[in-house]
Structures are given as C-alpha cells and as structure tokens.
Amino acid sequence: MISIVDYSVGNLNSVANMIRHVGGECCIAGDADEIASAEKLILPGVGAFDRGMEALRGSGIAEALSMAVLERKVPILGICLGMQLMTQRSEEGHLPGLGWLDAEVVKFCFPVGCKLKIPHMGWNTLSVVRDNPLILPEERQRFYFVHSYHVVCENQEDVVATCHYGYDFVAVFQRGNIWGGQFHPEKSHRFGMGVLRRFVEWMPC
Amino acid sequence: MLKHRIIPCLLLLNGGLVKTLRFKDPKYVGDPINAIRIFNEKEVDELMVLDIGASKARREPDFELIEQFAGECFMPLCYGGGVRTFEQARRLFASGIEKVCLQTAALENRRLITQIAEHYGSQAVVVSADTKKAWFGGRKLYASHTGKTLDISVDDFLARCVEAGAGEVLLNSVDRDGTMGGMDLDLIRETATKLSVPLVAVGGAGSLADMKAACDAGASAVAAGAFFVFHGPHRAVLITYPSYDEIEKFFGEAEAEYG
C-alpha cells in the first residue's frame, strides 16, 4: 500500500489514478498518524517551496515524514516540488527544506541572450548515469517536466539520471530509500507508468 | 532536449465536442470522453479542453465531466471556460487537471491570475488571447464571450497577465480558426519575442509543416483543433494524431536548435 502525502499542494488524484492503473494500491495520507503507519510513500507537490514547507511543518507531517523516512527507512518518492523539499534549501524560499540529503535547489540560470524560456515546460529525455531499479536506460522514453528550479546534489553518487535544458541538471536522485524525480511520472504516459510500477514493486534490500 | 509540444485543443459546447470555423458555426464532432480516450492512447503531449459556451452563458465549469476527463488522462490536461473564482479553480485542480486557462476572467479580474499562481504556481495558469485582424492592419484583442474586438493592445494585455503571474500564453487568431490554412506567423513571431513565458500558438494549423513553422517563429508549443478531428477535403470527422516518429522526423532540426 502506497500512501500519497496530502499537504494540500498539488494534484493527488493524478498520482492515485496512475498507481491504481499499474496495479498498485494507494491511499491518501493527510496527517501524522497516517504517515507513521505508512509502508511506502509518495510526496507529490507543485507550487512554491516555502508554501510547501509551511504546509508540511504546520500540520506535523514534516516530523512524521522524517521519522518514517530516516528511522524506519520507509521507501519514498518525491515528485517535482516533493523532490525539491527533500533537500537542504531552495533559492526560491527562505525556509529550510526537509534536509534528508546533501542537496539544494537553484533557479535555472542561462547566459544572457539565451532564448530558453523558464519554466522548463514540456517533454524531455533522460540520461541514466547509474544502474538503478526505477529508471531503465530505455531509448526514446520521454517525461513531462514543468519547473523553474532544479536540484543540485553535493554527492554525485546520489544522481541517478540527468536531463538537459540549457545544461545538464539532476532529474532523478536516490539515496537509500529516498527517491526524488523532477518530472511528473503521473503525467508521462507509459514511460511514467513504468517508473511508478517499478516503485510500487521495489523492495529495498 | 526539450520537445515542442503538439496539443489537441478540444472545444466543448453543451457537453459535446464541436469544432468552429473562425469562431462561428460550431460543428458537432463527437463525444468528449471517447475523444479523450483516443488521444490518451495516442500518447499526445498534452490536451486542452475549452468550454466555449460557459463564459457566454455565465455558466460554471462542468466539474463532473471535467473530473471524468482528468481520470482518462495520463498526460497534462488544461481546462478553460467559465472559470471566474479561485474556488472554481481549486475544484478543478482537485479533480486532477494541471492548468486552468483564463480569458474572460483575465480581462475582468487579473487578481484571479495572481491568486491561482500564488497557490498553485505560475505554470498552472494559462492566459488565452484571441486576436482578430483590424480593418486598417494590425491585430486587436477579441473577447470571445461577447464576440467583440477590444481597444486593448495584445502585447499590453499579455504583459500585464504575465506580470500578474500567468505562466503560459495561448495565442489564437480568429481569422484562421478552423481554416487549416496555416498559422499567423507574424503574430507568433512578434508576440513570442516579447514574452518571457512559453507561447502556445493556435489557429490555422493544417499540417505538421504549419506547426513547425509556428515553432520556428518562436512558439514553444502548438495547439490545433481541426487538424486533429477532421480528415480529407470534406472535413469528415476522424480523430488522428501523428505518430511520434512522424513528429520527430518533422521537428528534428527545430529540436536541435531549441534544445
């Protein structure tokens, strides 16, 4: 059973829809007790960093999540803002992040005269940089991205896959039971379904 | 590298799908759920559903129907039509859509753009500008809910919407709508250079070549209606979407520059 964390930012229905579509079971977890008993977690989210952190802290969800993820080693997948919240901090806000791994979030920064628009919005490909159980090095897979900020990992071994927009940035990271993906698997057709199905099936050793 | 998005834009009227010609003569083209299922199977980049009757009739969005749409979509879904309050937007996001598209509200109450952007992020707010060729050259903003042109410059309107928090612009030209005779490339070029946010061009696309031309002119994405629902010279109703291979072949060069 996957518990999708509800902290009133973002679109839980899409994630739940796709988990069920790939044969997984899921429920919505909106308070600390529900998270305390979760077996596997998804932290979705769209919107601003500080608003996300305020919502997590204000409801006591942040503490329950840290307990589950760091002490009980519950597998968790952060999606988009959910991934960014797992880091130490973000240029987008002032509040500290959950700080589960040594990484931070910065805004896309392009040289003057560069025509690339921000946000990075649309379908893009991944480069898998290390073997992992979630993102297979399939050719021609594409994922839906929409974000203005991206994660920078301090430890390169945490980086699972990168994406290119102006330059290479971290698209997926993993540290033990903690996974983060910048794209939206729930909006990425069968490519996203594959990722969510493998997360549903994943048993960390 | 980032791909240009190719977006079917479906028009909803009284619960059925229609396609217009120059914003007039809505022709019934089928059941929306059925169409959305087909587009989902064809793995379209994104889908846009605009209820063209809602604002005219001062009606609310059909939340139940939209929730059904969202349940069928494993790609981003944008909804527009009759969204006038934050509460309506909240209900739409809760039902599973990614973006709301505003036009009437953007003309009457730009604070709504800001409210939605502050809560759900700029990427969740698309502003739609319909334009019409003016008698003495240039283009005027057109209010689709009244069917009248306005004395507001398209650029000023869009600049103010982006400042208010809009994260994307849907730019249409009334004179091209449904004609499949090519897109207004001058309009796209002029507008895209002044915009800091992605521009979705719509209106007049009749082929992948038309779409590529719009992207070359600066559009981040191209939406189309007739191109995806009509087939052949007699405009028989048939839902199609080019295969990924076809799109890649066509857009190959453009992607290289873009990415």
Contact B74, B93 (CB under 8 A): no
**Domain assignment of residue B222, given as a range:** 5-258
Tell me the chain B residues in contact with residue A125 when contact means C-beta distances shorter than 8 Å. 1
Instruction: Map B164-207 to HEC letters.
Output: HCCCEEEEEECCCCCCCCCCCHHHHHHHHHHCCCCEEEECCCCC
How many CA within 13 A on the CB side of residue A195? 29
Which one, of A169, A164, A131, A165, lies nearest residue A153 by Cα?
A169
Mean pLDDT on B162-185: 97
At A202 the pLDDT is: 96
Chain A residues in contact with B167 by the CB 8 A cut-off are 119, 121
**Mean pLDDT value of segment B17-38:** 96
Q: Is B121 on the interface with A (CB under 8 A)?
A: yes
Partner residue facing B2 (CB), from A14, A18, A122: A122
Give me chain B's average pLDDT, please.
93
Q: Do A123 and B168 touch (CB under 8 A)?
A: no
Give A184's contacts in chain B (Cβ within 8 Å). Answer: 76
From chain A, pick out residues whose CB is under 8 angstroms from the CB of B76. 144, 146, 184, 187
Q: Can you tell me the mean pLDDT for B191-217?
A: 96
Among chain B residues, the shortest Cα distance to A120 is held by B2
Is it the case that residue B135 has pLDDT exceeding 90? no
- Burial per residue of B181-204, b for 16 or more beta-carbon CB atoms within 10 angstroms, e otherwise: ebbbbebbeebbeebebbbbbbbb
Does the pLDDT of residue B164 top 90, yes or no?
yes
Write down the ipTM of this complex. Answer: 0.89
Tokens 């500008």 locate to: B129
DSSP H stretches of helix in A74-175 = 81-85
Question: Is B68 at the interface with chain A, CB within 8 A?
Answer: no
Q: Residue B254: is its pLDDT beyond 60?
A: no
pLDDT at A13: 86
pLDDT for A116 = 86
- DSSP3 helix / strand / coil % (chain B, rounded to 5): 35, 25, 35
The answer, yes or no, to whether residue B239 has pLDDT greater than 70, is yes
Q: Between B208-216 and B185-194, two packed helices, what is the crossing angle to 10 degrees?
A: 40
Specify the pairing of strand A159-165 against strand A127-128: antiparallel
Domain count for chain B: 1
Chain A residue with CA closest to B2: the answer is: A124
Q: Which of A21, A54, A80, A139 is catalytic?
A: A80
Contact B92, B79 (CB under 8 A): yes
Residue B39 pLDDT > 90, yes or no? yes
Average per-residue pLDDT in chain A? 94
A183 touches chain B (CB under 8 A): no
Task: Kindly identify which residue of chain A lies nearest to residue B221, measuring between CA atoms.
Answer: A122
Residue with tokens 């249409």: B172
* End-to-end Cα spacing for chain B: 5
A21 to chain B: which residues are within 8 Å by CB? Answer: 74
Substitution target in A50, A115, A120, A123 with the highest count of B β-carbons within 10 Å is: A123
CB pairs under 8 A between A and B: 99
Please check the confidence at residue A149 and state whether its pLDDT lies above 70: yes
Whether the predicted pLDDT of B259 surpasses 50: no
Spatial separation of the C-alpha atoms in residues A75 and B39, rounded to whole Å: 34
Domain annotation for chain A: domains and CATH numbers: 2-201 (3.40.50.880)
| Chain B partners within 8 Å of A119 (Cβ) | 122-123, 167, 197-198
pLDDT of B257 > 60? The answer is: no
Which pLDDT does position A25 carry in this prediction?
A: 97
Q: Does pTM surpass 0.90?
A: yes
Q: Is A80 a catalytic residue?
A: yes
The answer on pLDDT for A138 being more than 90 is no
What lies within 8 Å, CB to CB, of B137 at 6+ separation is: none
The mean pLDDT value for A76-103 works out to: 97
Q: Does B252 touch chain A (CB under 8 A)?
A: no
pLDDT band for A119, please (50, 70, 90 cuts): confident
Under an 8 A CB cutoff, do A14 and B259 touch?
no
CB contact under 8 A, A17 and B71: yes
Q: Is the Cα torsion angle B98, B101, B105, B110 positive or negative in sign?
A: positive
- The CATH number covering residue B234 comes to 3.20.20.70
* C-beta atoms of B198 and A117 within 8 A: yes
CB–CB contact A14 B70 (8 Å) = yes
Kindly determine whether residue B98 and residue A188, on different chains, have CB atoms separated by under 8 Å: no
Q: Please report the DSSP string for B68-98 in residue order.
A: HHHHH-SS-EEEESS--SHHHHHHHHHHT-S
CB A173 within 8 A of CB A101: yes
Write out pLDDT tens, residues B94-116.
888 999 999 999 999 999 999 99
How far is the alpha carbon of A143 from chain B, nearest alpha carbon, in Å?
10
Q: Using CB atoms, pick whichever of A9, A21, A122 lies closest to residue B5.
A: A122
DSSP A91-104: TT-SS-----SSEE
Contact B126, B99 (CB under 8 A): yes
Please say if the pLDDT value at position B124 is more than 50.
yes
User: Which is it for strands A2-5 and A26-29: parallel, antiparallel or unpaired?
Assistant: parallel
- pLDDT tens digit sequence for B142-161: 999 999 999 999 999 999 99
Inter-CA distances, B177 with A89, A195, B26, B109, B186, Å: 46, 39, 11, 26, 16
The pLDDT of residue B250 is: 85
Residue B217: per-residue pLDDT = 96
- The angle formed by the CA atoms of residues B134, B235 and B174, to the nearest 5 degrees, is 15
Q: What's the whole-number mean pLDDT along residues A128-132?
A: 96
Please report the pLDDT score of residue A195 as a whole number.
98
Shortest CA distance to B209 belongs to which of B196, B222, B220? B222
Average pLDDT over residues B103-131: 94
pLDDT tens column, A13-48: 899 999 999 999 999 999 999 999 999 999 998 888
- In DSSP terms, B37 is beta-bridged to none
Which of A51, A123, A146 is closest, CB to CB, to B45? A123
pLDDT at position B166 is 96
Of B2, B74, B198, the CB nearest to A124: B2
How many angstroms separate the CA atoms of A152 and A143, rounded?
A: 19
pLDDT for B1: 73
In the prediction, which pLDDT does A152 show? 98
Strand (E) positions, chain A? 2-5, 26-29, 40-43, 76-79, 89-90, 103-107, 120-124, 127-128, 143-147, 149-153, 159-165, 167-175, 178-181
Instruction: Give residue-wise pLDDT tens across range A39-86.
Output: 999 999 888 899 999 999 998 999 999 999 999 999 999 999 999 999
